[in-house]
Amino acid sequence: MSERPLLQPVAAPFFEKNTLELARTLLGCLLVKETEEGVAAGFIVETEAYMGAWDRAAHSYGNRRTKRTEVMFQSPGYVYTYQMHTHCLVNVVSGREDIPEAILIRAIEPYIGTGLMFARRKVKEVKQLTNGPGKLTKALGITMKDYGRVFYERPLFIAEGFKPEQIMTGPRIGIDNTGEAKHYPYRFWVKDNPFVSRR
């Protein structure tokens, strides 16, 4: 009998894809966080691509390099966390080194550690646990301390999941003041999944 752990991180080359392709590929994959409290994981069901230097909605627009965006210039697979108001949001760094692209994880479907998620979120309905980018980080225990980790190693990693039947595409959420970029169809989600943040 195999004693291999149930959840195994993907290998680093998994992230070596065109950013828009990776944003689609991440749908259905597991996002896993291991802490002292236990393991929590969910299937990614909604993502948004941020296309770096020429995308006005990206933090790295114009190759802007600051303490916050620094990790976006790393090789693909790095963890980019940043704070929005009182919430921590998590991104997968994409694009080769010095190409500052990233993919925001906007929603997951709880799979493992639902009890732990409820303890962290204090909501009543399962749906409310992880149907938004600030909600899922709190449910999984992802914080600014995860900035600069890599998604192909523990304790915060991507693992294989399911293959979505149908993927939907549309404009990104909450980026009204970015001119042309507002209309780019860089948001991806699993069709009819109840945990997608908006329909």
Residues forming the site for DNA (CB under 7 A): 48, 50, 57-59, 64, 66-69, 80, 82-87, 89, 91, 102, 104, 121, 123, 128, 132-135, 144, 172-175, 177-178, 197, 199
Using CA atoms, how far residue 92 sits from 4, 47, 89, 124, 158, in Å, is 26, 10, 11, 29, 10
C-beta of residue 116 within 8 angstroms of C-beta of residue 38: yes
* Token pair belonging to 56: 């006005």
Which residue, 74 or 91, has its beta carbon nearer to DNA? 91
The least distance separating DNA from the CB of residue 89, rounded to whole angstroms, comes to 5
Minimum Å gap between C-beta 96 and DNA is: 17
CA atoms within a 13 Å half-sphere pointing along the CA-CB vector of 8 = 7
Tell me the one-letter amino acid at 106: R
How many Cβ atoms are within 10 Å of 170's Cβ, its own excluded?
A: 15
Comparison of 59 and 154: residue with beta carbon closer to DNA = 59
Q: Least CB distance from residue 5 to DNA, whole Å?
A: 29
- Taking the complex as a whole, the smallest distance from the CB of residue 83 to DNA amounts, in Å, to 5
CB of residue 12 vs DNA: minimum separation in angstroms? 21
Nearer to DNA, 24 or 68 (CB): 68
Burial classification of residue 167, based on how many CB atoms lie within 10 Å of its CB (0-12 exposed, 13-18 middle, 19 or more buried): middle
Q: How far is the CB of 87 from DNA (least distance, A)?
A: 5
Question: Between 4 and 85, whose beta carbon lies closer to DNA?
Answer: 85
80: enclosing H helix or E strand: strand 79-84
**Is the N-terminal amide bond of 155 cis, ω within 30° of 0?**
yes
3-state helix, strand, coil in the chain (%, to 5): 25, 30, 45
Q: Which is nearer to DNA, 7 or 149 (CB)?
A: 149
Closer to DNA by Cβ: residue 99 or 175: 175
